[in-house]
């Protein structure tokens, strides 16, 4: 059977408890001081365990898991839209999106073969620079929140995402594409999460106008 993204540790699976999948052990096992073994292995191997604070189960600041492993070229052909980020950083964010963010955004389906963010969203993003940048931004924010070193990279991705979206919206045939609407809605969610309610509402209003235009055209 093909290995899949780990879903829970053995202890949590046995007790039918939720598992937050923190690396290398979930916080529940840390608190109970029991050996933690995941029932499924991830699709790609993660390197050495991260030093962590046993009291909380969280990785210690400055020893982020994102710096402890190196991907062997996740996409050796670089068949994704260009960005202003270093290649290794892009590869890392892609890995994070496909192995973590996709399942956090849609936890109802933990299968790598049917989760909509893997089978529908991601293929669309590979052909849509705006959606690709927005997708990377979700992974980048997660990384920056973990490392607590500021939001410089996610802000760069935000600026590029908005610039790419403005070009698409300027062309009505591209403005009504699924990728465009997905990008704007995701940006709205990101801004809402950052507390920028006004900006979030502006993004939502933009999607509503596009939907209304489509409804009028098909009527």
CA distances to 91, 218, 219 from 5, rounded to whole Å, are 18, 42, 44
Does residue 9 sit in helix, strand or coil?
strand
- CATH H superfamily, domain 1-69: Zn(2)-C6 fungal-type DNA-binding domain (4.10.240.10)
Give me the DSSP letters along 12-64. Answer: HHHHT------SSS-HHHHHHT----BSS--SS---SPPPB-TTT-SBPTT--
Distance between CA 9 and CA 19 in Å, rounded? Answer: 7
8-22, 31-45, 122-136: which has the minimum mean pLDDT? 31-45
Q: Taking the domains of the chain in order of start, what are their residue ranges? A: 1-69, 75-218
Are the CB atoms for 122 and 135 separated by under 8 Å? yes
Tens-digit pLDDT profile for residues 48-87: 333 333 333 333 333 333 443 343 445 655 689 999 999 9
For the cut 60, the answer to whether the pLDDT of residue 162 exceeds it is yes
27-36, 103-112, 181-190: which has the minimum mean pLDDT? 27-36
Share of residues in the chain with pLDDT > 90 (%): 42
Are the CB atoms for 131 and 125 separated by under 8 Å? yes
Overall pTM surpassing 0.75 (yes/no)? no
Tokens representing 201 are 């509402």
């Amino acid at each position: 059977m093909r290995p899949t993204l780990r879903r829970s540790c053995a202890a949590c699976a046995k007790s039918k408890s939720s598992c937050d999948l923190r690396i290398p052990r979930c916080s529940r096992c840390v608190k109970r001081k029991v050996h933690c073994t995941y029932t499924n292995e991830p699709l790609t191997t993660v390197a050495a365990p991260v030093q962590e604070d046993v009291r909380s189960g969280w990785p210690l600041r400055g020893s982020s898991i994102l710096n402890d492993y190196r991907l062997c070229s996740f996409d050796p052909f670089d068949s994704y839209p260009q960005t202003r980020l270093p290649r290794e950083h892009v590869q890392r964010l892609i890995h994070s999106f496909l192995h973590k963010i996709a399942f956090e955004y849609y936890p109802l389906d933990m299968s790598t073969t049917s989760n909509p963010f893997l089978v529908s969203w991601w293929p669309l993003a590979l052909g849509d620079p705006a959606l690709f940048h927005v997708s990377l931004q979700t992974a980048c924010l997660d990384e920056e929140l973990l490392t607590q070193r500021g939001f410089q990279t996610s802000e760069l991705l935000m600026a590029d995402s908005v610039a790419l979206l403005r070009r698409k919206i300027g062309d009505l045939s591209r403005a009504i594409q699924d990728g465009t609407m997905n990008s704007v809605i995701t940006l709205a969610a990101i801004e809402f999460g950052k507390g920028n309610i006004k900006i979030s509402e502006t993004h939502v209003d933009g999607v509503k106008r596009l939907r209304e235009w489509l409804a009028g055209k098909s009527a």
